[in-house]
Structure 1
Amino acid sequence: MRILLIGSGAREHALARALARDPQTERLVVAPGNPGTAQIATNLELDVLDGAAVVAAARDVEADLVVVGPEAPLVAGVADAVRDAGIACFGPGRAAARLEASKAFAKDVMAAAGVPTALAHVCTTIEQVAEALDAFGAPYVVKDDGLAGGKGVVVTADRVEALAHARACLAKSRDDAATAGEPAVVVEEYLDGPEISLFCLCDGRDVVPLEPAQDFKRLGDGDAGPNTGGMGAYSPLTWAPRDLTGEVVERVARPVVAEMARRGTPFVGLLYCGLALTSRGLRVVEFNARFGDPETQVVLPRLESSLAEALHAAATGRLDRLAPLRWRAEAAVTVVVAAHGYPEQVRKGDVITGIEDADGLAGVHVLHAGTATADGALVSAGGRVLSVVGLGPDVPAARAAAYAGVDRIGLAGSQHRRDIAAGR
């Protein structure tokens, strides 16, 4: 199978790594890729938001399958362009990607499908926001309605901070092409309990779940500091209820996929179910329309089945013919190494060292995210620079491996959490 993978982050490096070692993969091209993907595949410079350019690239490499990694190309309609060209594509079209692009839209779909989620008010003015905050009380949960790179949510006991974030979201959404007209921000009730992420492969009709994972959103140890795109993750979740995956599929994923089909916008691709196990039962926190980052980095190394075959089955409406997925017994932990200043004023251009040393450790591999080459050196080029993955017979062993790898990495001013998967 010839595959064109769209994206350049650690998520795409994790996808590329799984696809490159897959016997089903004949050729793998990553556009635009990063210095890490260049070691295992062919990188291709490409404007990933340009559907026509992606189609031309897919034809040029004679792709049997296009896999769209990030959310922005999905919202831009790249998957629509690829499918319209008669090429199999893993990734929802623009209309279906609104499940991630608009939290207000996702709430409407969940209400129609009877999916359990947090009570919420969709607000279009700051006065409505103030009323919603007072109705729910602290802690306050305020969400950007549109795409925000995983950093659009504020959970705080400070009403002033909540209002300030709402103002910023409303101002941003006025210029956000993903919103459907009127600027909006979502104010929700606070959900207690641990959060988990479950990825579901969807073909517009059927659903096949992957293994669940848990990520760590806050910047600092003990969940201190601002929300980020994710500072680490681990899998499996040995503490989770045994029937959790089945419950999520039947109560969340299948109803949502059925509702999207009913609306004439079938969901084909990866439905990311962000969930909270609250004192009142399962609740949906959010949906994403693509693989999560950093959860992908710990889920895919545990997959024993062919990823290429599974993604192609979803893209071509054949999940009902896919054999049950097989999983390795080992655990995986990833720790994100972020640049100085992340998630606010990110410093770029610092030299990165020690990756080969880390990769040489047993059970460790390093995935590139915000990296580039300059004057023959590997340098930082984004906020989250690397994901260091550790594998082991259980979570503590995988965690030890991951941190052993992190300790080999050199990056001036970098930051990472020391408590990823601690006590799990």
Structure 2
Amino acid sequence: MNILVIGGGGREHTLAWKLAQSKIADKIYAVPGNPGMADVAECIPGSVEDNDFLVKLAQEKNIGLVVVGPEVPLTNGIVDDMAKVNIPAFGPQKAAAQLEGSKSFSKAIMKKYNIPTAKYEVFIDADKAKEYIKQEGAPIVIKADGLAAGKGVIVAETLQQALDAIDEIMCDKAFGSAGNSVVIEEFMEGEEASVLAFTDGKTIVPMIPSQDHKRALDGDKGPNTGGMGTYAPAPVVTPEIMQRVQKEILEPVINAMQAEGHEYKGCLYAGLMITSEGPKVVEFNARFGDPETQVVLPLLESDLGEIMLACVNGTLADMQIKWSDKAAVCVVMSAGGYPAKYNKGDEITGLDKAKDAGLLVFHAGTAKKDDKIVTNGGRVLGVVDIGDDIKSAVDKVYQNIDLIKFDNVYYRKDIAHRAFNRK
């Protein structure tokens, strides 16, 4: 069958690359795609937020499966619109995608169904939010309630930072209408991890746990970003912790969504804090994580296309999903200055040399100009290696990453440091 991947970043490049290996895939299309995806998919320009265009395209190209990468098309109801014309789409419908689209909705579900998470309050009034912060003290976490492209969360270490965060989100509208209301949460101590899972609304199957590196600079310093690198498996998620995640978080939330009349199908992303009391939810996302996908999917040995169809058709319980026992590491090469101001349009060289050295290179923010690949975003490339263990994968990436060159390139030099410190 023909498959349509919606999106154009590193996550979508990884999805298209993995789907190209599927027995069910005849041809893969991507909207808008990126120059790296052109190796495995036909890229078609267009907006991922234009549902009418996407539905029409899916009909014209005789698409048998739509795979939605980013969150905005999901909260815009693209899965619902595809269903109206009988085109199967992997991802939750609009009502279920609120689990990511509204942090207050998500927290209310967790509270009602006793799913472990941080204590919180929701505010639509900035002055009342500030009163609450003064009462609770710091450190404290301030989140824009709506979608903010992974950036609407401020971990305030001091009272002043917390009060400034309210001004930034609610008064200055740094994240637009996403900041019309805020969720204020207690600060959780522990180590973060991400567990993505396949679900058909009844059965939920976790993927290999991974760990993202959100801060821009080495040593987890600097501002929060969309993610500077990942590795999998994350040793903080022991087999015992994984069992608790399944029983205390994944199964209860899928059952909760079913009970609320919002059946959840697709990929569920649980951002977790592994605390001294056990795993607690930091946030849920309604899709594959970026850059977690870049390390999790290369370790999947089963057919991704078949798994996705089983999720859509409600037959996931019949699938045997196999994983590699190797490790994968992704280092994000970013444009200097990211996540603040950065340059676009700089030529990228050495991509073929990196591939020849055995690395997987997933394009995140690139474009084609005069037959050259140029930078076109803050996070430019995800450079990935699969090794027998985390150390060998990390070593290979860092030994070869400088084969790829562009002006003012920046990347963290300490991806997976927590895995090593643990040992």
Aligned partner (choices 236, 241, 259) of residue 238 of structure 2: 241
> Which amino acid in the other structure matches residue 243 of structure 1?
E
Structure 2 gaps of 5+ residues are none
Q: Who is 1:331 aligned against?
A: 327
What's the offset of the Cα at 1:310? 0.6
Aligned partner (choices 253, 258, 267) of residue 270 of structure 1: 267
> Which amino acid in the other structure matches residue 27 of structure 1?
K
Structure 1 gaps of 5+ residues are none
String of CA shifts for 1:42-75, please: whole Å, max 9, x gaps.
1112221122211111112211110100001111
Partner Cα distance (1:132, 1:205) in 2 = 39
> Which amino acid in the other structure matches residue 103 of structure 1?
K
Aligned partner (choices 345, 348, 353) of residue 349 of structure 1: 345
Q: For structure 1, which segment, 23-32 or 275-284, has the greater mean C-alpha deviation from structure 2 after superposition?
A: 23-32
Q: Who is 1:370 aligned against?
A: 365
TM normalised by structure 2 equals 0.95
- Contact preservation (8 Å) 1:357, 1:408: yes
- Contact preservation (8 Å) 2:144, 2:175: no
What's the offset of the Cα at 1:350? 1.0
Q: Who is 2:133 aligned against?
A: 133
Task: Give the alignment of 1:406-417 within 5 angstroms.
Answer: 406-417=401-412
What's the offset of the Cα at 1:175? 5.3
Q: Helix, strand or coil for the counterpart of 1:253?
A: helix
> Which amino acid in the other structure matches residue 328 of structure 1?
S
- Contact preservation (8 Å) 1:205, 1:258: yes
Partner Cα distance (1:174, 1:149) in 2 = 9
Task: Give the alignment of 1:287-298 within 5 angstroms.
Answer: 287-298=284-295
Aligned partner (choices 394, 401, 414) of residue 399 of structure 1: 394
What's the offset of the Cα at 1:174? 9.4
Q: Who is 2:124 aligned against?
A: 124
String of CA shifts for 1:347-376, please: whole Å, max 9, x gaps.
1111111111111113x1110010001122
Q: Helix, strand or coil for the counterpart of 1:191?
A: coil
- Contact preservation (8 Å) 1:11, 1:297: yes
What's the offset of the Cα at 1:340? 2.1
Q: For structure 1, which segment, 236-245 or 198-207, has the greater mean C-alpha deviation from structure 2 after superposition?
A: 236-245
Partner Cα distance (1:127, 1:413) in 2 = 42
Partner Cα distance (1:12, 1:267) in 2 = 21
String of CA shifts for 1:288-344, please: whole Å, max 9, x gaps.
000000100000000000011111111121112222x11112110000011122111
- Contact preservation (8 Å) 1:368, 1:385: yes
Q: Helix, strand or coil for the counterpart of 1:273?
A: strand
- Contact preservation (8 Å) 1:269, 1:290: yes
- Contact preservation (8 Å) 1:304, 1:327: yes
Q: Who is 1:50 aligned against?
A: 50
> Which amino acid in the other structure matches residue 388 of structure 1?
V
Aligned partner (choices 193, 196, 200) of residue 199 of structure 1: 196
Aligned residues: 418
Partner Cα distance (1:3, 1:384) in 2 = 26
Q: Who is 1:62 aligned against?
A: 62
Is residue 317 of structure 1 aligned with residue 308 of structure 2?
Answer: no
Task: Give the alignment of 1:6-21 within 5 angstroms.
Answer: 6-21=6-21
- Identity score, percent: 44
Q: Helix, strand or coil for the counterpart of 2:19?
A: helix
Q: Who is 1:386 aligned against?
A: 381
Task: Give the alignment of 1:87-236 within 5 angstroms.
Answer: 87-171=87-171, 172=173, 176=177, 183-236=180-233
Partner Cα distance (1:217, 1:144) in 2 = 17
What's the offset of the Cα at 1:283? 0.7
- Contact preservation (8 Å) 1:69, 1:291: yes
- Contact preservation (8 Å) 1:104, 1:186: yes
Partner Cα distance (2:167, 2:302) in 1 = 46
Partner Cα distance (2:16, 2:43) in 1 = 11
> Which amino acid in the other structure matches residue 165 of structure 2?
H
Partner Cα distance (1:132, 1:310) in 2 = 45
> Which amino acid in the other structure matches residue 333 of structure 1?
V
Aligned partner (choices 258, 266, 276) of residue 279 of structure 1: 276
- Contact preservation (8 Å) 2:230, 2:292: yes
Partner Cα distance (2:33, 2:344) in 1 = 18
Q: Who is 1:32 aligned against?
A: 32
Q: Helix, strand or coil for the counterpart of 1:95?
A: helix
What's the offset of the Cα at 1:103? 0.7
> Which amino acid in the other structure matches residue 233 of structure 2?
P
- Contact preservation (8 Å) 1:66, 1:87: yes
Partner Cα distance (2:133, 2:249) in 1 = 27
TM normalised by structure 1 equals 0.95
